[in-house]
Structures are given as structure tokens and as C-alpha cells.
A and B are shown apart, each in its own frame.
Chain A
């Protein structure tokens, strides 16, 4: 009787311990909120619709922006260029099963090269890049960088570490490839045989 009474609380305690242990992982996978403003709004939003002389709404303002570090860091002396994508593939790319969600979109960020050392992974076919949050001044046409649209960042924080992406070969593709190779070889032989039958001396 005593045993039975202790069983359920023990199970509850065990479950709670498991939940606590799993909490960081669950928290890590929680969806990252959308940027405000996001890259699309930074490019598009104007003070007065249709009046380009008024300049862009966000131009010169300090923004907080996060996105997947993509490609590579390009260090130029003590500063560096990184590119942060805040698109549909920021947390998971197509190879990992993300639904297609349009083009990539993001922002170029000019930042201290030392700060970029925190970024462990840059996104490409085999990697999902770290999700990085930066704070800095948005320039619709940067005076320092030949009119480029960029953010001059003063701070950087890693929201989620990057990881390696596996893209295993799909078995149905292998079977399809083998079948097509067999047909192609057969037709190649047929082509050679019928060609020689018509004219034994003709080349291609």
C-alpha cells in the first residue's frame, strides 16, 4: 500500500526532472520572433508613399535586427561584413525540410571584426548559420560604403548556435537514376548498331 502511494509521486518527480533537463533544448527550439522592422520593411518603407525625396522611414535610426549569418564573414582590417537573413529559412533550410517561403531576404551588417568571432557557423548548403542579433544604425544609402544599404552594428548577441545540415541521398532517386542509366546505355548501343548498319564508316 505504501509502495503504491509512493509510486505516483515518484513518477511525477521523475517526469518533472526530465522536463527540467529538457527545458533548455525546448527553449532553444522555440520559434524566434519576427524582426520589427524586418529586412523587407527596411527596404520598402517610405515616409511619404511615392515621394522618394523624403528619404526612407528607418534611415539613420537605431534598429535591433536578427537573422541567420549566411555565407561567410569578410574581414576588412578591424571591421567586417556579415549578412543576416531574416527570411523563411532563418531557423531551418530546405534541406532540413523547411517549406518553401519565397526568396532569401536580409541585411548587410558592418561590424567590429572582434564581435564576429562569436559566430560559429555561417549558412550554406551543408550548414544552418547561427542566428545573430545585432543593434546598430540603419543606412538607406551609407556614406561610408558607396551608397550601400547597410546596418552599422555596435553590439552582437548569439540567439541560437548554427549546426551542420545533413542531406542524405533519397533512395527513390537512386533507383530512378539506375533505371535511366540502363535505358540510356541501351539506346546508345542501339544508336551505334543502327548507325553501323546504315554506313559502317560514318562518325558523329
Chain B
């Protein structure tokens, strides 16, 4: 029997969703100030409209949903996914008002892409958008990488047991510190430190490459946000190809890889446990799968004789694959070059890298390194069991911050999420193929969306079918929140309608 949620359930969900949306409104003050600094008055008014809309929603729901009740697990999941839904609907307003979007659906697509750190976009004439709007695009992806709930937890929530449940609902389950608010603040401490250092390096390099100081700073800041959050947005339509520099690419690679690591790993390094990076199952899994995909792609592209020398070949392959594997989505080749130059093998290898993706509890998406590690260990365990005497007890463990022994429950949980990802990838690829796109291209694009990567082989276009836009948007949302929160929101909706 489905139990219909009671009034008190609606109140607690409304109250906390409202708090998160107030946080989104406050975040918009940064692009508003950017617009004012650059005298972009029309854009500034767009942001005032959007901030006001967020405050109306936030204060309105808080005034209407007055309750002392704390969050339960199901509330936490619904608040997380519901907050993402409303934050997307309201966060889309500045782009819609700018006149650069073909439709409201296009802006929803872009904002969901930003929050989920995907990096696909439908905004048109990007090379002429205002600095304010560019700041908002990149801030979306930077904030989304840490988690918009994490932002609200940091500034607007009291330290309650329920706060942890919203935090988990956003696809993060690492508790770096005993208190979840302290954990959220620790995540910000790590991210802001990297922001300062990364922006400095990229900005300085930009000036060396011939950019003026102001453009070098803002491009450095935005490219850092795109790289660290594994988002993939960039201020020019040429993406990081704009810079034509191996030094800039190396800095981006370092930031992309760092951004794709688990916050728990960052915290371990931060607190002096340096050996963790060498022992952690996720870093091992990442370097193994990155090496294999790079080797395979290099081999086949060398056969195709696309690039003039070995250095150019390696530079292009390694950059695109690090970008794909960390689920960033930066590129130094044209989108269609994946088809016209890399061909089917290059497409498939990049698709595999994107599908595996980054680390759990990071800014990245995809199936995640820890699941690949657990599945590999479980496979080894089964093979060892088969070749060992029946009476022997074969155990496997993996290391992630601490050693954990594999058990059937753990492996089943990992396999469930992995199958959910593969199913999502498959459904999206089939929808793309039904619209007439070649299967390998349709698979590439859907995996890119659902693993929150953002590389494109040219299918994502403002004039692509609306249903495909919806499928990719849902793919980004489900992939980022790792299914459970979105299922909880759907379940909540069903319970409201059909519950007793």
C-alpha cells in the first residue's frame, strides 16, 4: 500500500527546498555584481529579475511551510532532487531574458547541464554573451560541482540530523568530519583553495599567451571553474582550443584530474595522509582505465594517420581522454572531428572512458572509479573461488580511506547502480538512433550527457529534436543524483496522487 504523505511531510519538504532556493538567489548576486562592474545594465536587470524570483519562491515556501519537524531520509532525498528541479527552473531565467536561447527548454537544458557539471549547451552566439551571463554559467557549474545543497548547508542550514540526509540525497555520502555542516565547509575550504591557486596559474599563463590582464583573469577563473567542477563550460565557443598552448592544457589536465577525485581523498591529503593517493582504489582504477583507453585510442588513431607526429597524436588523445574520463568535457578539437577525424574506434573508446567516469563524492559523474574497483575485485574473488579448494575461504578487500572487505550486499549494491547507469545510457542511445543518428554517435552523446561529461560529437545542437533535449536533460539529472533522489521525488509524486 502506498501511504499518502501528510501535511507535515509537505511542510518540511517545502521549508527546506525554499532554503536551498534562497541560496541559489544569493549565488546570483555574484554575476549581478560582475554585470555592474562591466556596465552591462541589461544583463544586470536580468539578474535582478531572477534573484527576485528565487527570493519569492524561497521566502514564500518558508512562510507557507512553517514546521519544527526535522528531515527524514525520504524527505532528504525529495528535498535534494526537488531543489535541483526548482533551482534549474529559476536559474534558467537570466539566459532566457538574454535573448541568446532558442526556447525555455533550451535554457533548462543549459542550467541542468551547469548544475550537473555536464557542459553541453544550447546557448547561441556564445562568443557575444555578456560577462555577467558567462559568470553565471561558470558559477552554476562550480556550485553544482560542490553541490547546491552543500552551499545551502554551509550558509543556511542548522546542524541537524536531517541536514545529512539532504547531503546524501545530492549524491554525496562522504562525511569528512563528524558534523555534516563542518563537512560542507571542509569541501568549500578545499575547493576555494584550489580556485585561488588554479585561477592564478591559468590567469598568469593567459597573460603570457597574449591575453590582456582582465580577460586573462576572468578566462582563468572560468576555465578553472569548468575544469575543477569537471563541468566543461568555457567562455568561448572554441572551448580550450582557444588558447593553442600545451602549457595551458597541462594546467587544465592537472585541475581536471584533481577535480575528479573524491573529496574524502582531498581531505586525507589535506590532513597529511599523503599515501592515500597511492593506495586508494579510485585513483588506482582511474589510472588503469585511463592508461588502457589512451593506449587503445593512440594505437588506432596512429593507424589512421590523422596527426602529423607522435607528440601531436599523444597530446590530442591524452587531453580528450582525460577530459572524457574525468567527465569534464573540455576539448581541443572540433566536436565533429570526433566523427570526421577520430572515427568509430575513437568514438567508442571515448564513450567507454566517459561511461566509467570520475570518483564518487567528487564533482564528476559516470559509473565511478570505486564501483569499477569493487566490480574488478569481486571478479577476481570469484575467479579465485573457482580455482581454490571448496573448503577455502576467499576474501577480497579494497582501500578507500580505510580497508573494507567485500561482501555480497556491497557488490549487489554496486552492481545495481552500475546496471542503472548502463540502462540509462542504453535508453538514451536508442532514442538518439531512432531519430536517425548513427548508433555510435547517439551512444557517445547520451553517455556524455548521463555521465555529466559534456563532450559532443555534434548531435547536441539548438535545432535538435525537443524530445532528445528532454532525454539528455533527464539523463544529466538522473546521472548526477545517482537515481535514488529522483526516484524518491517520483515516488513522492505518485504517493500524493495515489496514496491512501
Chain A positions near chain B (C-beta within 8 angstroms): 43-44, 46, 52-53, 55-56, 70-76, 80-81, 83, 85, 87-89, 93-95, 98, 100-106, 108, 123-126, 128, 140-143, 145-150, 165, 167-170, 173-174, 176-177, 180-181, 183-184, 187-188, 190-191, 194-195, 198-199, 203-204
Residues of A within 8 A of B49 (CB): 173, 176-177, 180
**What is the CB-to-nearest-CB distance from B480 to chain A, in angstroms, rounded to a whole number?**
24
Residues of B within 8 A of A194 (CB): 63, 66
Residues of A within 8 A of B128 (CB): 89, 93-95, 123-125, 128, 165
Kindly state the separation between the CA atoms of A140 and B340 in the bound complex, as whole angstroms. Answer: 10
Q: Is the CB of B59 within 8 A of A148?
A: no
Q: Is the CB of A104 within 8 A of B125?
A: yes
Pairs A–B under 8 Å by Cβ, sample size 8: A52-B343, A56-B341, A76-B209, A94-B99, A98-B125, A147-B313, A177-B48, A194-B63
Residue-wise, chain B 455-467 has the 8 Å CB interface mask toward A (1 for contact) of 0000001110000
**What is the CB-to-nearest-CB distance from A131 to chain B, in angstroms, rounded to a whole number?**
14
Q: Is the CB of A173 within 8 A of B125?
A: no
Residues of A within 8 A of B241 (CB): 108, 148
Give the top 3 A-B pairs by smallest Cβ distance, nearest first.
Answer: A74-B210, A180-B52, A147-B312
Residues of A within 8 A of B340 (CB): 43-44, 46, 52, 56
Kindly state the separation between the CA atoms of A108 and B239 in the bound complex, as whole angstroms. Answer: 12
Q: Is the CB of B42 within 8 A of A85?
A: no
Chain B positions near chain A (C-beta within 8 angstroms): 19, 40-43, 45-46, 48-49, 52-53, 55-56, 59-60, 62-63, 66, 68, 97-100, 102, 124-131, 156, 158, 209-212, 215, 236-238, 241-244, 246, 303-309, 311-313, 315-316, 332-334, 336-337, 340-343, 461-463
Kindly state the separation between the CA atoms of A144 and B309 in the bound complex, as whole angstroms. Answer: 10
Main secondary structure, interface of B, reads: helix
Interchain pairs with CB closer than 8 A, number? 190
Q: Is the CB of B315 within 8 A of A184?
A: no
Residues of B within 8 A of A195 (CB): 62, 66
Q: Is the CB of B59 within 8 A of A191?
A: yes
Q: Is the CB of A75 within 8 A of B236?
A: no
Q: Is the CB of B242 within 8 A of A149?
A: no
Kindly state the separation between the CA atoms of A195 and B342 in the bound complex, as whole angstroms. Answer: 60
- In the complex, the chain B residue whose C-beta lies closest to that of A39 is B334
With A103-B124, A125-B40 in contact, do A184 and B52 touch (Cβ < 8 Å)?
A: yes
Kindly state the separation between the CA atoms of A173 and B43 in the bound complex, as whole angstroms. Answer: 10
Main secondary structure, interface of A, reads: mixed
**What is the CB-to-nearest-CB distance from A88 to chain B, in angstroms, rounded to a whole number?**
8
Additional 13 contacts, C-beta under 8 A, given A145-B244, A170-B42? A52-B306, A94-B99, A94-B128, A100-B124, A103-B462, A148-B332, A149-B337, A173-B49, A180-B48, A187-B60, A191-B59, A195-B62, A199-B68
Kindly state the separation between the CA atoms of A81 and B210 in the bound complex, as whole angstroms. Answer: 9
Q: Is the CB of A167 within 8 A of B312?
A: no
Q: Is the CB of A169 within 8 A of B306?
A: no
Q: Is the CB of B42 within 8 A of A169?
A: yes
With A74-B211, A147-B313, A177-B45 in contact, do A183 and B56 touch (Cβ < 8 Å)?
A: yes
Kindly state the separation between the CA atoms of A7 and B371 in the bound complex, as whole angstroms. Answer: 91
Kindly state the separation between the CA atoms of A81 and B42 in the bound complex, as whole angstroms. Answer: 31
- In the complex, the chain A residue whose C-beta lies closest to that of B345 is A52
- In the complex, the chain A residue whose C-beta lies closest to that of B460 is A103
Q: Is the CB of B156 within 8 A of A204?
A: yes
Residues of A within 8 A of B308 (CB): 141-143, 147
With A143-B309, A169-B42 in contact, do A100 and B102 touch (Cβ < 8 Å)?
A: yes
